[in-house]
């Protein structure tokens, strides 16, 4: 009894969903031109994008409503809502579809902005204070949208640097994990090069602390027995002025 009463209602509902209402054409419930809409979405999202176009990609694009035909013979649009920033992630754009200046409907478009770039991975386990060699790392291009700032993108930025922490194989290198190795260590015998505009002299010294290239270290002059500040210029070489 109940099934006989519900069946006509279901049939009527199905008719409304499939067939157009009076004065409405079937074109109104056709699928939208996704290619045209994605092109609009990409122009808006990538307009102020600071990265090269080959490094960004739009994924998971979709529109709502799913049943809206775009006007035939071309159309205009007016953006009513756009992303507030250009950072990678989910983006939403709302646009009014216009034909001869008249609104034809509104489309809500969404998608993900992905950023791709080169990362440097460790090829084996590296320990704290290890000096990175060329075969310790490998470059790979991947999605970097969700990675932190400070990515090392060039092997030259890593080779010869010292690790501040231990890393397992396959780890992504960040600049925060690297530092210049010391060229002078505490207790090392060094050459002190003292110079002025007209004179340059050298003297033997002993480093009181460690330092990398360009850093200032304390050095004891073994001839005068005085302690001075000097800049590391190379392995076992420091420079001061007088």
Which pLDDT value is given to residue 32? 60
Contact call for residues 78 and 60 (beta carbons, < 8 A) = no
Is the domain 182-241 a CATH 2.30.30.760 member? yes
CA distances to 12, 21, 180, 228 from 231, rounded to whole Å, are 88, 85, 15, 10
Q: From CA 189, how far away is CA 184, in angstroms rounded? A: 9
Q: Record the tokens describing residue 42, joined without a space.
A: 């990409």
For the entire predicted model, the pTM comes to 0.69
Give the CA radius of gyration of the chain: 33
Selected from 3.90.1210.10, 3.40.50.2000, 3.40.640.10, 3.40.50.1240, the CATH number assigned to the domain covering 116-179 reads: 3.90.1210.10
3-class DSSP state for residue 56?
strand
Contact call for residues 98 and 106 (beta carbons, < 8 A) = no
pLDDT at 52 exceeding the cut of 80:
yes
Q: Hey, where are the domains in the chain?
A: 26-114, 116-179, 182-241
* pLDDT, tens digit (0-9, with 9 covering 90-100), for 85-116: 989 999 999 999 898 888 888 999 999 999 99
66/47: higher pLDDT: 47
Cis bond leading into 67, ω under 30°?
no
* pLDDT, tens digit (0-9, with 9 covering 90-100), for 54-80: 999 999 999 988 766 777 777 889 999
pLDDT at 12 exceeding the cut of 80:
no
Any idea how long the chain is? 242
Label the pairing between strands 237-241 and 227-234: antiparallel
Position 3 confidence tier, pLDDT thresholds 50, 70, 90: very low
CA distances to 96, 111, 134 from 76, rounded to whole Å, are 9, 21, 54
Spatial CA neighbour of 55 closest among 120, 113, 109: 113
Which pLDDT value is given to residue 31? 52
Residues of the chain with pLDDT > 70, as a percent, come to 86
Mean pLDDT of 17-30: 39
Which pLDDT value is given to residue 178? 97
Average pLDDT, the chain: 86
Which pLDDT value is given to residue 110? 96
């Amino acid at each position: 009894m109940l099934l006989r009463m519900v069946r006509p209602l279901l049939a009527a509902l199905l008719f409304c969903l499939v067939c157009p209402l009076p004065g409405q054409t079937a074109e109104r419930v056709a699928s939208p031109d996704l290619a045209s809409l994605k092109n609009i979405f990409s122009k808006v999202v990538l307009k102020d994008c600071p990265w090269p176009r080959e490094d960004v990609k739009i994924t998971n694009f979709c529109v709502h409503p799913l049943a809206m035909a775009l006007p035939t013979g071309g159309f205009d649009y007016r953006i009513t809502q756009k992303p507030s920033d250009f950072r990678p992630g989910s983006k939403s754009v709302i646009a009014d579809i216009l034909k001869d200046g008249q609104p034809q409907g509104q489309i809500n478009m969404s998608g993900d902005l992905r950023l791709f770039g080169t990362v440097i991975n460790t090829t084996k386990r590296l320990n704290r204070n290890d000096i990175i060699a060329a075969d310790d790392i490998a470059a790979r291009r991947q999605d970097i949208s969700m990675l932190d700032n400070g990515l090392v993108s060039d092997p030259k930025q890593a080779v010869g640097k010292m690790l501040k922490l231990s890393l397992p194989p396959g780890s992504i290198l960040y600049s925060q994990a690297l530092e210049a190795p010391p060229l002078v260590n505490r207790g090392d015998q060094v050459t002190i090069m003292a110079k002025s505009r007209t004179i340059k002299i050298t003297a033997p010294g002993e480093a009181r602390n460690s330092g990398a290239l360009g850093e200032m270290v304390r050095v004891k002059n073994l001839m005068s027995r005085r302690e001075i500040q000097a800049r590391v210029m190379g392995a076992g070489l420091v420079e001061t002025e007088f």
